Amino acid sequence: MGITYERKINYYETDRMGVVHHSNYIRFLEEARCEWLNELGMPFELFEERGITIPVLGVNITYKYHVTFGDTILIHTFMKEYTGVRMTVGYEVKDKKTGNIVLTGETKHCFTNRELKPINLKKHAPDFSKKYESIVEPKE
């Protein structure tokens, strides 16, 4: 189950050329990922209550188009891969007005305990694991 998160671009997120600075997109993806987890009924707070953290292992982004102050973007967030120990979340960001694809990307994560030791979600939170397994989108 993917979701689409809508976000308006703020002036302070742009660079001297008037376009969104590339580094801000990582923040936008995190906002969308948090909203996605909320929509799934598994907000970060629930993971933390169970002593589970979800660190980012890597970010891969391909920039395709730019947006500027005042534009609105739509961030489609979805599960690409899930193993119980790791997951890959996919993103497609579009300009709401033009429909142009602004970027495609993914973030890779693992699940750890509070001491940052890897854990298998299938054992530590089987209810979360089943939810993740049910929403992996098929590869194209």
**Phi, psi values for residue 119, rounded to 5°:** -130, 160
On the question of pLDDT at 1 being above 90, the answer is no
Here the tokens at position 5 are 């998160």
pTM metric for this prediction: 0.93
Pick from 75, 87, 69, 72: nearest CA to 129: 87
- For residue 98, is pLDDT > 80? yes
Order of strands, sheet of 3-8, starting from the edge strand that comes earlier in the sequence: 3-8, 72-82, 86-95, 101-110, 56-63
Active-site residues, by number, are: 15
Pick the CATH number of 3-135 from 3.40.50.850, 3.40.50.261, 3.30.465.10, 3.10.129.10: 3.10.129.10
30 pLDDT more than 90? yes
What's residue 139's pLDDT? 72
Does the pLDDT at position 22 exceed 70? Answer: yes
Whether residue 76 is predicted with pLDDT greater than 70 in this model: the reply is yes
